[in-house]
Structures are given as structure tokens and as C-alpha cells.
Amino acid sequence: MSKEKSKLTDTIDTKIIDGFYAGSLLVSTPDILDPRFNRSVIYLISHNDKGAMGFIINKPIEGIYLSDIIKVNGSQKKIDTNKNNIVLFGGPVEYNNGFLLHSKEYQIKNTTLKINEHFSLTNDTKAISDVYKGKGPVSSLFMLGYAGWSPGQLEKEIMEDSWLVTNADPELVFNNSFSDKYNLSLEVLGIENAFFSSSSGKA
């Protein structure tokens, strides 16, 4: 997973969001030992000849909540752990930058990027505040950072059985049972986690 960000930032800026496996889920195989990506499920928002970009959607950051990041009415609210307050580790690239992946009905003019008919992406403090207040999109995930691949890198990793690819069902993507999301993704692929070993890298 590359930490280069220039090409991927260009991908967002030019709104090139289709091609290859864009809009799919990547499910890590046991071949991935890096703790940042081990047992990870990634929603891939962009994949083309410039590289790929996605968000890890099943790894909450312990001890960090939306209420730590934003201030409501000029003062910090008491921390709670409801679903609107969870912050996910989206990946190691631009870790200080927050991204809101959400359902399509919510948008901020000239800011929200429509990914497809099910998902949109917004990088704006108003959206984060709306989510925290319960006024945001019907479904959403807030992540710090993203995962990025240089041109051809993701294709190579898939060929090497580091990743399995499956469809991105909104119910699965926005499922708040984060500890179950990896196993649920394997079930979609017809794989039982108990028997999933390095030798079973292919779906």
C-alpha cells in the first residue's frame, strides 16, 4: 500500500471514479500480515490507470470520537459512543484528513462527490457536524486517512492473492457491527473464516 498521495489526490480532484474495481469491496486474505490491513475490509472508491484509493471500513480508532474532533455550539460535548460518534481508521495516507462516506441523499453543493448510485463522499466540517448532531445522511462512516495504491500496484496484489474482491452492498458497508464486518464479507464470498488460511487465498 503506497503512501504516495499526489496521484490519488488528482484522482479525486478530477472526479475519475470509475474503472477496474472501483465501487467494490476488497477483503484481505491471511497473506497480509501488516496489522493496519490484516483482516481489513476496504471500500474502493477509485481504481484506474492512475492508481487506486479506498477506505478501511471495519477498524474503529480506540479513544477517538467525533466529539473529539468537532465542537458543537462552541463547546465540547460529553463523549458518548453512539454510532454517530465513531471514527474509523481509513488508512495510513493523509491520516490527519477526515472523510465521510455516506448514502446518496445527503449532499453539500460543490463539495460532495457522487461515487455511484449508492455512495457519496464528502470532506467538509459541516457534514461531520451534521452527522454528530444526527442531521446528516441516513447512513455514513467517518474515517481518518485512506489507503492508496500506485498505478498497477493493486492489480498485482490481487493477482498475488492478497485481496479478494466482492460487490459492495450498502447494508454491509454501513453495518455498524465493525467487529463482524470481516466475517460477513467472507460469508458473501462463500468462505468460512474458520477454514480461511493462507492456502485459501483464492475465492
Q: Is residue 76 part of a domain?
A: yes
Non-local (6+) Cβ contacts of 166 within 8 A are 24, 25, 27, 185, 188, 189, 203
Q: Is residue 175 part of a domain?
A: yes
Q: What is the CATH number of the domain that holds 131?
A: 3.40.1740.10
Domain contains 1? no
- At residue 71, the pLDDT reads 55
The range of the structural domain enclosing residue 80 comes to 6-200
Q: What is the mean pLDDT of residues 175-199?
A: 82
Least confident of 23-32, 121-130, 160-169: 121-130
Residues whose CB falls within 8 Å of the CB of residue 4, separated by 6 or more in sequence, listed in order = 93, 148, 150
pLDDT of residue 34: 95
Q: Please report whether residue 167 resides in a domain.
A: yes
Does the pTM exceed 0.85? no
What is the tally of structural domains in the chain?
Answer: 1
The reported pLDDT for the residue numbered 64 is: 86
Domain-embedded: residue 42: yes
pLDDT digits (tens, 9 = 90+) for 63-119: 888 888 775 434 444 444 455 689 999 999 999 899 999 999 999 998 999 999 999
